């Protein structure tokens, strides 16, 4: 009997879904918006695999709705905080994600945020568009230099290293804090306290876990220079948004660049950070190029097809087995 696979969207970039449909019966949430838990649960009975986006919750209830046939949950994302990994492990389900394929693209976007926040590009562009640029004055739109600055990377996996490579082109000094990553030719490993006090730009590249939730909050922001910039392309929950808002409004932090938020998507109920002139905000577009998003879907499909063919998954999550029911693996992840 042909296996069935649930995809949480009907249309995704690239031709990965065509390959999946050729190998398995595919059922999909037909709506254009985000499906609710009940929507997915109604489609799940009897499926062997689930392909989900990074903000679609995949909990034990959905796994139970699928039943014992469920063998693999493939995320078309690098992050994995939307999956109940404990529930998956208890049921012997493989959980995969998409490292490597989005590292360079996300590093590009990280540097775009650094440039935009430090050089006040958003404020200056808005002034031009509103017709406020009536005079040339030496003290208008003054930002801070990127070249020669110190960049601190919290998390030094694939994306962090890609950002470090770009930083060297700007003549930057690079520090990183990551218990699993020693010094290399790009960056020096330091304690988090040292990184916060010495860096002109702090860029976050860690997954969202119980340990990293609100990793940057009031105490960490107070340790940073008042001329510093905080950038995050990781997960919104890594930053305490209320603490960041106060730090920027009170002049205790120069600027911030955020591609991720604690509540996504926002709709019309915007975070107050969106309106702050010294905060550059984007709607989670770190991996949003045609080639990269297609590659993410392709890798998610490859993981599903491998597991359904009784081959090891290519990119299982840390702690997830590569084949259903096997002991948990130890494969690492660099954000």
The residues annotated as belonging to the active site are 235, 264, 284
End-to-end Cα distance, the chain: 38
Residue 125 phi, psi (nearest 5)? -65, -40
Q: How far is CA 319 from CA 89, 94, 150, 236, in A?
A: 8, 10, 34, 23
Report DSSP state, residue 325: T
Are 81 and 89 spatial neighbours (Cβ–Cβ below 8 Å)? no
105: left (phi over 0), alpha (psi -120 to 50) or beta: alpha
Return the structure tokens found at 60.
């034990």
Q: Counting beta carbons within 10 angstroms of the beta carbon of residue 250, is it exposed (0 to 12), middle (13 to 18) or buried (19 or more)?
A: exposed
Beta carbons within 8 Å of 247's beta carbon, 6+ residues apart: 218, 221, 222, 253
- Return d(Cα 123, Cα 165) in angstroms, integer: 28
């Amino acid at each position: 009997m042909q296996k069935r696979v649930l995809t949480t969207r009907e249309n995704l970039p690239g031709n990965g879904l065509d390959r999946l449909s050729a190998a398995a019966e595919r059922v999909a949430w037909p709506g254009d918006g985000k499906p609710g838990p009940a929507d997915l649960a109604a489609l799940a009975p009897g499926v062997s695999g689930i392909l989900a986006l990074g903000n679609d919750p995949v909990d034990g209830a959905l796994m139970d709705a699928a039943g014992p046939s469920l063998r693999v949950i493939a995320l078309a994302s690098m992050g994995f905080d939307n999956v109940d990994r404990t529930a998956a492990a208890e049921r012997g389900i493989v959980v995969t994600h998409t490292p490597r394929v989005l590292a360079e693209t996300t590093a590009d976007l990280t540097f775009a945020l650094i440039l935009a926040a430090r050089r006040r590009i958003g404020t200056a562009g808005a002034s031009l568009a509103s017709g406020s640029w009536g005079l040339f004055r030496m003290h208008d739109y003054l930002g801070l230099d990127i070249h020669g600055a110190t960049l601190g990377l919290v998390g030094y996996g694939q994306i962090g290293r890609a950002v470090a490579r770009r930083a060297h082109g700007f003549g930057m000094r690079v520090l990183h804090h990551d218990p699993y990553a020693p010094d290399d030719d790009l960056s020096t490993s330091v304690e988090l306290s040292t990184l916060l006090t010495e860096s002109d730009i702090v860029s976050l590249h860690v997954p969202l876990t119980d340990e990293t939730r609100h990793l940057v909050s009031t105490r960490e922001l107070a340790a940073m220079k008042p001329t510093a910039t905080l950038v995050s392309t990781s997960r919104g929950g890594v930053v305490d948004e209320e603490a960041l808002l106060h730090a920027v409004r009170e002049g205790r932090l120069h600027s911030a660049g955020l591609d991720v938020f604690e509540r996504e998507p926002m709709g019309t109920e915007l975070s107050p950070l969106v309106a702050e002139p010294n905060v550059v905000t984007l709607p989670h577009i770190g991996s949003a190029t045609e080639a990269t998003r297609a590659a993410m879907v392709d890798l998610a499909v490859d993981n599903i097809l491998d597991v359904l063919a009784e081959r090891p998954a290519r990119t299982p999550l840390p702690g997830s087995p590569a084949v259903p029911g096997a002991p948990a693996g130890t494969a690492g992840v660099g954000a």
